[in-house]
Amino acid sequence: MSNSSIGGIEKLVTLADPRSPAAEAYKDLRTNIQFSGLDRQLRALLITSARPDEGKSETLANLAVSFAQAGNKVLMIDCDLRRPSLHILFGLEQEPGLSNVILEAGGFASSSKNGSGIGSIKFPILETGVPNLRLLPAGLQAPNPAEILGSNLMREIIEQLRGEADYLFFDSPPLLAVTDAAVLSTRLDGVLLTLKANKTKRDDAKEAKEQLEKVRANIVGVVLNEVKSGANRYSY
């Protein structure tokens, strides 16, 4: 895969500079997540942030690449139906995607009331050019994203997606902007909260954590972006 095939290669340090300290940090994060799942399996994770522009999508993409580089089959799902960006990072098309699947299934209220489900879904999953790594993009802009993500249909979609990969990474809008992330967090195995050094306010971080606790989401941990590394950092 050539670097030119990736739309946001400069933001994907795990591809652009895999031996850098930042790329190594993503490997450390990968290991921490895997060990965190020893008692409770963590296969489907939500990566979100407190506010916009705190690096959640770049964090998700780099983490997904790191997992894929370790030989895991990884699927990214862009559930940020308001401002999707994962397709841009990997130089792919936004449509068709998740919202198209929902429309083709007859809308988010179409799930069977008698529990028989919606049958097998064919997902428009895209190859990213990175071995073991695929993307289900957001698709066309949809109304009422929070209702879609909290629907019975979305629950069934998530369960079927579990059969597509070893690990699923879900992107979503920021927690304090809309309710989408909090709703989605209840359907997944855990949540990583992304914060940005010298940008995220302490009160915002606290409020985001409280929102996740209120819906009883499993908070796996926090990722702090753009930390300036010290010159005397131990580099082994």
**pTM for this structure?**
0.88
Residue 142's pLDDT is: 80
Q: How many CB atoms sit inside 10 A of residue 73's CB?
A: 14
DSSP string of the chain? --GGG-TTGGG-HHHH-TTSHHHHHHHHHHHHHHHHTTTS---EEEEEESSSSSSHHHHHHHHHHHHHHTT--EEEEE---SS--HHHHTT----SSHHHHHHHTT-TT-S-TTS----------EE-SSTTEEEE---S--S-HHHHHTSHHHHHHHHHHTTT-SEEEEE---TTT-SHHHHHHTTSSEEEEEEETTTS-HHHHHHHHHHHHHTT--EEEEEEESPPPPTT----
* Predicted confidence (pLDDT) per residue in 28-65, tens digit: 999 999 888 667 789 999 999 999 999 999 999 999 99
Residue 106's pLDDT is: 65
Residue 36's pLDDT is: 82
Angstrom distance (rounded) from CA 194 to CA 96: 27
Segment 69-90 mean pLDDT: 96
Looking at the DSSP bridge assignments, the partners of residue 170 are: 46, 77
3-state per-residue secondary structure call for 47-65: EEECCCCCCHHHHHHHHHH
* Mean per-residue pLDDT of the chain: 87
Domains of the chain are 3-225 (3.40.50.300)
Of residues 156 and 39, more confidently modeled: 156
